[in-house]
Amino acid sequence: MTQTTSHPSAASAESGPIGRFLKATEIDTRLVGMVGALVAIWVGFHLYGLIVNGTGVFLTPRNLWNLSVQTASIGIMACGMVLVIITRHIDLSVGSVLGFTAMVMGITQVWILPQWLGLGHPLIWLITGVVGIAVGTAIGAFHGWLVAYRGIPAFIVTLGGLLVWRGAAFLLARGETISPVDAHFALIGGGPYGSIGAIGSWVVGLIVCAAIVWLLVAGRRQRKKFEFPLRPMWAEYTLGIVGCAVMIGAVLLVNAYPWPRGIVSQYAAAQGIEVPEGGLFISHGFAIPVLVLACVGVVMTFIMTRTRFGRYVLAIGGNPDAAELAGIDTRWMTVKIFALMGFLTGLSAIVASARLNSATNSLGQLDELYVIAAAVIGGTSLAGGVGTIYGAIIGALVMQSLKTGMVLIGFDAAMQDIVVGVVLVLAVYVDKLYRSRAK
Amino acid sequence: MTTTEKPRTPLVEMRDISIAFGGIKAVDHVTIDLYPGEVVGLLGHNGAGKSTLIKCLSGAYQADGGDIFIDGKKATITNPRDARHYNIETIYQTLALADNLDAASNLFLGRELVTAAGLVDDVRMEAETRKIMGRLNPNFRKFNVPVSALSGGQRQSVAIARAVYFNARILIMDEPTAALGPHETQMVAELIEELKAQGLGIFLIEHDIHNVMKLCDRASVMKNGQLVGTVNVKDVTDEDILGMIILGKKPGQAA
């Protein structure tokens, strides 16, 4: 059991300094590729703005903060879509289910609960959220049951769901827009008040840094105990330093984006603070929806890599018959996977409707396509068995960066659709090339 | 049907098993049995019903009629999990491996080792896998790659390790050497001898008549879903067995 025993043949193909670095640190080359593409998109849009329009606005704290908030809703759902696609299914209904659950929550918190609890009661947001997630989970479980126990292909079940739940959302409120939502509820959508501020962001940042270090140390100790090959120490340090640097950079970034002047004076008036001459600098810090996405990402990654459930998801995707023969109840697993997708759709509906401060009939329209695209750009294979949570989140970030960037440089809607479509096809093609080379 | 008297209770008796798919009787009132420390070959043409019969024992299919007895007691096997409770392990012809997972994940699929907190214990599973592979196939090195990256023989040894690791008492091997080279075939043959000596009962589905003559104690031959007969391998010639497979005639009967 020496150092050389256990490395994929794919890594041996690249033997330059970069290849050696990746091999030693055990970083997925696909991750490097995706991050590289993301950076290229960001810098490209910034330079384009700088050269053509005279001002580069993409790489500013304000834009990147907004980008993070806009990514949250799609990113949360993409985490669930990864599981659905890994098990060789598809969910076309998430946009409509999001619209429907948002409408249910709008009615709950605006029409029903204030009658019982009184307007602005602190429990309203909580009850509403629970109702929304419960409805989403139930719809997902129902779809999963139709797929698993009634043998209807997921494509058809969720295509039907796409139509049914959009229609149902319309009928619920006769097409009305329900607004504004509960004040506490609205915080989950972000905005100046829906962010945790400079100090809170530092706390989050330091906790994450501590977690990175702890994971590296614990992982090394565990491998040592069983005498498995270890990473060289410099690789461990590099991983730790890069991880912490990225985290601290993110904190500095979100803290560099101040509240708008209007909100500051409104806040100062409410708190009885004197606004000094040069204005008051209050940092946004991380937005709550971004923290929600981060938590979902961590929890889902944990589920996929450390629990039996996650292992079975991958096994079913790799070979459904083998999974069945290994004693895995694949049908019940399918129900659970779709229910989880529904759960995350409900959560996403909270974020989306809170951000909009209303429940509209068209909320979430076409989201299914962006969610699927995010998962696929993030390396989830439609053939099943392959996909990662972090990939899907980066995929969502890529999609959102493209959309935002094109708006900033003044592309019209038609052009945006063309670019997004081309990028999706291209991303899958590149992924296919990568895979066939790796074999 | 058996040609020798055995005083012990059989490890497995599949009595009067029938199963039909859409009107076609894939297995038609077949009775076979297996004793501890014995290898019983299951022979017949493709489509004779061998694999189907054996899948009733491994829990992949449920018989329409007939009973299964383990240690003389009636057993209910409705899915692969039930079969595993009776210490029945199966090496399928297709190997039934999840290609995207590594050797350890496949070996423990459905029976993962978990930590005190109930989480999958990858490190311990890899350690156990290294241990058993060190015994079965000492040249095996590729522990951290998906099994799709392994050769046919290496994949086969993962499938075999899975059956052996969990202390099987009844082992079903569906053409275990079909995809193997001569050296690896020899390894499987030695393994079968070793497991037999440990007192396991083995059902061996096999096409190669030489392997049958070499490895099996008895042979049950099937044709068109029915049992032609069961013979003691040392009492017959390979031509007798071929006659059973091709003509469906027991030795001694006029062809």
Q: State pLDDT tens for residues A72-87.
A: 999 999 999 999 999 9
- Which position has the higher pLDDT, A378 or B181? A378
Q: What is the pLDDT of residue A266?
A: 86
Contact A98, A363 (CB under 8 A): yes
Please state the rounded mean pLDDT for residues B59-74: 91
- Over residues A181-213, the pLDDT tens digits come to 999 999 999 988 899 999 999 999 999 999 999
pLDDT beyond 60 at A5: no
Report the distance separating Cα A258 and Cα A62, nearest Å: 8
What are the CA-CA distances from residue A281 to residues A242, A255, A331, B84 (Å)? 29, 10, 55, 66
> Of the candidates B100, B142, B145, which has its C-beta nearest A318's C-beta?
B100
Report the distance separating Cα B152 and Cα B95, nearest Å: 10
Residue linked to tokens 């803290």: A255
Q: What is the pLDDT of residue A6?
A: 40
Please state the rounded mean pLDDT for residues A26-47: 88
Chain A nearest-CA distance from B35, in A, is 25
pLDDT beyond 80 at B185: yes
| Fold of the domain built from segment(s) B1-87+170-255 | Rossmann fold (3.40.50)
| Domain spans of chain B, in order of start | 1-87+170-255, 94-167
A258 by DSSP, 3-state: which? strand
What are the CA-CA distances from residue A427 to residues A70, A431, A439, B191 (Å)? 21, 6, 19, 47
**Contact residues for B41 (Cβ-Cβ < 8 A; gap 6+):** B204, B205, B206, B212, B215, B216, B218, B219, B220, B233
Strand order in the sheet with B88-91: B88-91, B170-174, B201-205, B39-43, B218-223, B226-232
What are the CA-CA distances from residue A116 to residues A184, A293, B93 (Å)? 17, 32, 64
Q: What is the pLDDT of residue A439?
A: 54
Confidence of residue A3 (pLDDT cuts 50, 70, 90): very low
Q: At what angle do helices A61-86 and A233-255 cross, to 10 degrees?
A: 120
Q: What is the pLDDT of residue A167?
A: 95
Which residues from chain A sit within 8 angstroms of residue B114, using beta carbons? 308
Compute CA B12 distance to the chain's CA centroid, rounded to the nearest angstrom. Answer: 13
A206 by DSSP, 3-state: which? helix
Report the distance separating Cα A31 and Cα A50, nearest Å: 28
CATH of A14-195+287-438, one of 3.90.650.10, 3.30.56.10, 3.40.50.150, 1.10.3470.10: 1.10.3470.10
For A140-152, give the DSSP string: HHHHHHHHHHS--
Which residues from chain A sit within 8 angstroms of residue B109, using beta carbons? 311, 315, 322-323, 326, 328
Chain B nearest-CA distance from A307, in A, is 5
Sign of the alpha-carbon torsion through B191, B192, B194, B200 = positive
Report the run of H or E that residue A203 belongs to, with start and end: helix A197-225
User: What ipTM goes with this model?
Assistant: 0.86
Q: B96 and A225: CB-CB below 8 Å? A: no
Report the run of H or E that residue A237 belongs to, with start and end: helix A233-255
Q: What is the pLDDT of residue B253?
A: 61
A385 close to B (CB below 8 A)? yes
pLDDT beyond 50 at A235: yes
Per-residue 3-state assignment (H helix, E strand, C coil) for A364-396: CCCHHHHHHHHHHHCCCCCCCCCCCHHHHHHHH
- The alpha helices in A256-366, defined as continuous H runs, are 261-271, 288-306, 308-318, 320-325, 330-356
pTM score of the predicted model: 0.89
pLDDT beyond 50 at B192: yes
> Of the candidates B80, B111, B120, which has its C-beta nearest A306's C-beta?
B120
Report the distance separating Cα A428 and Cα B96, nearest Å: 28
Q: Is A298 left (phi over 0), alpha (psi -120 to 50) or beta?
A: alpha
Tell me, what DSSP letter sits at residue A16?
A: S
What count of CB pairs under 8 Å joins A to B? 95
Per-residue 3-state assignment (H helix, E strand, C coil) for chain B: CCCCCCCCCCCEEEEEEEEEECCEEEEEEEEEEECCCCEEEEECCCCCCHHHHHHHHHCCCCCCEEEEEECCEEECCCCHHHHHHCCEEEECCCCCCCCCCEHHHHHCCCCCCECCCCCECHHHHHHHHHHHHHHHCCCCCCCCCEHHHCCHHHHHHHHHHHHHHCCCCEEEEECCCCCCCHHHHHHHHHHHHHHHHCCCEEEEECCCHHHHHHHCCEEEEEECCEEEEEEEHHHCCHHHHHHHHHHCCCCCCCC
Compute CA B230 distance to the chain's CA centroid, rounded to the nearest angstrom. Answer: 17
Token readout for A3 is 């150092």
pLDDT beyond 70 at B227: yes
Which residues from chain B sit within 8 angstroms of residue A318, using beta carbons? 98-101
Q: A311 and B144: CB-CB below 8 Å? A: no
Please state the rounded mean pLDDT for residues A341-349: 98
Sign of the alpha-carbon torsion through B130, B135, B141, B143 = negative
A436 close to B (CB below 8 A)? no
Token readout for B224 is 């068109």
**Contact residues for A283 (Cβ-Cβ < 8 A; gap 6+):** A197, A198, A201, A254, A255, A256, A257, A258, A259
Report the distance separating Cα B92 and Cα B96, nearest Å: 6
> Of the candidates A8, A318, A328, which has its C-beta nearest B99's C-beta?
A318
Please state the rounded mean pLDDT for residues B42-49: 88
Burial of B131 (0-12, 13-18, 19+ CB in 10 A): exposed
Sign of the alpha-carbon torsion through A377, A379, A381, A384 = negative
Q: What is the pLDDT of residue B7?
A: 59
Confidence of residue A125 (pLDDT cuts 50, 70, 90): very high
pLDDT beyond 90 at B210: no
Q: What is the pLDDT of residue A342?
A: 98
Report the distance separating Cα A317 and Cα A305, nearest Å: 15
| pLDDT above 70 as % of chain A | 96
Q: A322 and B90: CB-CB below 8 Å? A: no
- Over residues B113-134, the pLDDT tens digits come to 999 998 999 888 999 999 999 8
A2 close to B (CB below 8 A)? no
Contact A265, A273 (CB under 8 A): no
Q: What is the pLDDT of residue B5?
A: 53
Per-residue 3-state assignment (H helix, E strand, C coil) for A65-133: HHHHHHHHHHHHHHHHHHHHHHCCCCCCCHHHHHHHHHHHHHHHHHHHHHHHHCCCCCCHHHHHHHHHH
Q: What is the pLDDT of residue A1?
A: 35
Report the distance separating Cα B228 and Cα B251, nearest Å: 10
Token readout for B173 is 């091997």
Which residues from chain B sit within 8 angstroms of residue A311, using beta carbons? 101, 105, 109, 112, 120
A278 close to B (CB below 8 A)? no
Which residues from chain B sit within 8 angstroms of residue A222, using beta carbons? 123
Report the distance separating Cα A169 and Cα A105, nearest Å: 11
β-strand pairing of B218-223 with B201-205? unpaired
What are the CA-CA distances from residue B134 to residues A6, A203, A394, B137, B141 (Å)? 14, 48, 40, 6, 9
Burial of A277 (0-12, 13-18, 19+ CB in 10 A): exposed
> Of the candidates B95, B112, B142, which has its C-beta nearest A311's C-beta?
B112
Please state the rounded mean pLDDT for residues B60-67: 90
Find the range with the poorest average confidence among A47-56, A267-276, B81-90, B140-149: A267-276
Q: B98 and A385: CB-CB below 8 Å? A: yes
pLDDT beyond 70 at A386: yes
Sign of the alpha-carbon torsion through B109, B114, B117, B123 = negative
Q: What is the pLDDT of residue B1?
A: 46
Tell me, what DSSP letter sits at residue A362?
A: T
Token readout for A16 is 């330059």
Contact A262, A288 (CB under 8 A): no
Which residues from chain B sit within 8 angstroms of residue A5, using beta carbons? 141, 143
Chain A nearest-CA distance from B254, in A, is 42
Strand order in the sheet with B24-34: B24-34, B12-21, B65-70, B73-75
Which residues from chain B sit within 8 angstroms of residue A325, using beta carbons? 58, 60, 80, 90, 92, 96
Which residues from chain B sit within 8 angstroms of residue A319, using beta carbons? 96-99
Query: Which among A374, A420, A344, A396 has a CA at the least distance from the CA of A69?
Result: A396
The mean pLDDT of chain B is: 87
pLDDT beyond 90 at A393: yes
Q: What is the pLDDT of residue B164?
A: 87
Please state the rounded mean pLDDT for residues B159-171: 89
Q: Position B68: which residue type?
A: I
Chain A nearest-CA distance from B146, in A, is 9
Token readout for A413 is 């809607």
Token readout for B52 is 């189907």
